[in-house]
Structure 1
């Protein structure tokens, strides 16, 4: 290989490495959840699913979108419930989620973006815990409710990031990108 060929090869290799380094690990995009007028930002192409889950002892349709990026799982879920039960169901959902990861060091603050019900159960939480395989996990999550226009129903919304360490910037983008 000649010196000029080697120089061109090195330049191309460097360019390829730089392009790889510039590829964002979190490629934010809008996604709409089926059967909900909710738009969320997710950092990767999401999978979508719907299933029935017991909320407050009542089978409830839960619509979800989620994906894995940068070593973290991002998920958002929506369920429609009677408006009068919104607060208690948010509390139950939060309690079950945190129990599932054996949460510790739980920090809670109010989370009231535009369009949500101003109930004390609308919160943002950070916690540490364990995955089902015993590995440590950091959880950053929100739970909110909003009234369904023209009905006596509320949509409960839960968004969560599970990662090895808290991802503050990603959480700001993810939770701030929820549009109701």
Structure 2
């Protein structure tokens, strides 16, 4: 799939997935896209944990209840490490992980799969963070920022309508 077609086809899938397995080669392509995302100062504070084991996925779904997480054949956890850059000690970890997440979501769409960025509605609470870290051996100083369920959707969808281009994009001046 061509890049701009993937952008058009990417949507947030909140439903259940089929039990079609995810080929390891596709998962490698998907997370490789995440590793190629921009990173402030090239610190590369983002990392990724791919979980395909059914038992571990079930335990994650207990901690992080979401029907996509419960039914996806693969989960990609986006993990970030707090690092500070420059004399002002600014952390860009959230920007780094956000850029990586978008690359991953576009790669998922390009390969014909579906996903959703889960960290909002169900929330990555401190309690969930601790449980996920204990279950998955996440090192201290790193935090799970999102869980992306990946697979073939039971009910494919499409991107919802967007606001008109001219409402969102201005050239030269905002007015």
TM-score by length of 2: 0.31
In terms of Rg, which structure is larger? 1
More strand by share: 1
More helix by share: 2
Give me the TM-score of the superposition, normalised by structure 1. Answer: 0.31
Kindly indicate whether structure 1 or structure 2 has the higher relative contact order, using CA contacts under 8 Å at least 6 residues apart: 2
